[in-house]
Structure 1
Amino acid sequence: MLSRRKKAIMGIGTLIIFIATILVAAVAAGVLISTSGVLQQRALLAGTEARKRITNSIEVISLLAHGNSTAETLNDFEAYIRLQPGSDPIQMRKFDIQIITEGWDQAATLQHKSMDPSEYEVGQVDNNSWTKVIDIDGDGTEDYVRLFEANSTTNGEAVLYFNLSDAGMSRPIYLGYNLSSTSVRTLKVQDKVILDSDYNGYMLVNISGNASNNTIPASTSFILRNWSEECAFDHLIPETRYCFVVMHGNDDTVLDSGERLKLLYKATPDHALGTGQEFRMIFTSEKGRLSEIRAYTPDVVRTTKVPLWPLN
């Protein structure tokens, strides 16, 4: 009897060990399956990101610039672009342009309402004192604006000057009228760029309403902002910003397959390209392959719009 009981106990022990082995194997298999699933998911994500970096890019259809035949310089660039075949849509808010020449290079980001929709209401401005406004030139110190009377040097128009704490006195913004009399004038200033003496741009001025007695009253809309309602060279902050016009497609900030955009980029007068000059323009999206063109300006500037790319 004792012998039979001992064998039964040994059989139960073996069964317990067998069950434990199965459980350990099951847990190990579960861990392996889970790990392989995670690794597969990571591999798919890595592959997708790698594919995007290889295939996501734009094609430059053409590039032209506006020529000044008297000074023999080129500025105000227009680049026509579309997606490369197989590319995913590109968010233009995360799309940059960089122009590189022998003497300078500069990167530009999108100038668009979706980038910074905020506005600043100035309030009353007159010719008696400087009115404090926000930090325009980005040095952390508030700046000032003042109205100056019309005179012979301003073509008989009242002008605004901004006193920028870091960049100094701005170039004048013309208001279109002599405001020294009691006669009420209706002002309409749309997206005029505040420029310093070197033509570096900062914010845009918008004024709509009445003015007289060298005073723009608080009841008149006087707004500063970083974006323009219209993409145009006259409303574009030079060198650090670009804008786009939808030539074919939806009016949003995403470049989709089949759509074409016209990008506008403006350099300061000191950085306008001369004749026979080599330059590069690089287009970069957040996740994708950069697109680059190398070109030379012509030896002679004879037309208003000068084609620069593709090379003939």
Structure 2
Amino acid sequence: MFDRTDDRRDRDRGQVGIGTLIVFIAMVLVAAIAAGVLINTAGFLQSSAEESGEQASEQVTNRLVEVNTVGHVNNANDSGAGAEDLIENGTIDYVNMTTRLAPGSSDVNLNDTTMQWVSPDESSQLVARDTSTSGDYPIFNWTTVRDNDASVQNDDTLNDPVDRAEITINLNQTQLSTLDAGQSAELQISTRSGGQTTITLVVPDSLSNKNTVQL
């Protein structure tokens, strides 16, 4: 004789099995979505980290370094004063600095470079000669010392380790002042990528009978 109780038990077991399968599929879908979100987040964080690393590297390497700095002495004889006033009145009125790329640096465009001049008498921002806002700030000029492919002459850009440009700062400009014997000044050069170089210029204690001095 057929047992109806066993039939109901079989149907109950089938319903429980389907419910478990549905829950399992739902869990798999949720896990897949979560994994996709985690993978996307990890990729985004990796890209951000790489970009930050590149920017930090550029700030360290993409900069100019000093090769040599010379100051022009505007002494008392230039204005017709007596020889007895030569030591007292001699001042540095022009700074000529030869620069090159730092080791590992990419191209540096001088037009995109700014400088901060700090002396005992003032602090001022300097901008490139061709900058549109140069009328508001003192400017610096440059000439080519060495350039294999005319990049400095044509594009104002140092793009090779052998390139040399001489940067000239006229201290007679508004917002600047000449340096006396024994004084010092600090010059901070900042490139477009954020690389910075700080140079301390020290004037000798005596400028007597000198037209130029090493700073």
| Equivalent residue, structure 2, for 1:191 | none
More divergent stretch after superposition (36-45 vs 91-100)? 91-100
Which protein has the bigger strand share? 1
Note if contact 2:70-2:212 (Cα within 8 Å) is conserved in structure 1: yes
Larger radius of gyration: 2
TM-score norm. by structure 1 comes to: 0.55
Which protein has the bigger helix share? 2
Distance in 1 separating the partners of 2:165 and 2:212: 18
Pairing 1:244–2:151 present: no
Note if contact 1:55-1:288 (Cα within 8 Å) is conserved in structure 2: no
| Paired AA for residue 60 in structure 2 | I
Distance in 1 separating the partners of 2:138 and 2:156: 18
| Equivalent residue, structure 1, for 2:198 | 292
Note if contact 2:63-2:197 (Cα within 8 Å) is conserved in structure 1: yes
| Equivalent residue, structure 2, for 1:44 | 50
Pairing 1:24–2:42 present: no
| Paired AA for residue 214 in structure 2 | P
| Paired AA for residue 306 in structure 1 | V
Trace 1:159-178 onto structure 2 (pairs within 5 A).
none
| Equivalent residue, structure 2, for 1:7 | 13
- Alignment RMSD (CA, Å): 2.4
Q: Which runs of 5+ in 2 are unaligned?
A: 1-6, 77-88
| Equivalent residue, structure 2, for 1:260 | 164
Trace 1:47-196 onto structure 2 (pairs within 5 A).
47-70=53-76, 71-112=89-130, 115-116=131-132
Q: Which runs of 5+ in 1 are unaligned?
A: 117-137, 139-200, 203-236
Note if contact 1:67-1:302 (Cα within 8 Å) is conserved in structure 2: no
TM-score norm. by structure 2 comes to: 0.77
Count of residues in correspondence between the two structures: 188
Note if contact 1:90-1:255 (Cα within 8 Å) is conserved in structure 2: yes
Note if contact 1:275-1:301 (Cα within 8 Å) is conserved in structure 2: no
- What's the % identity of the aligned pairs? 26
| Equivalent residue, structure 2, for 1:232 | none
Pairing 1:273–2:179 present: yes
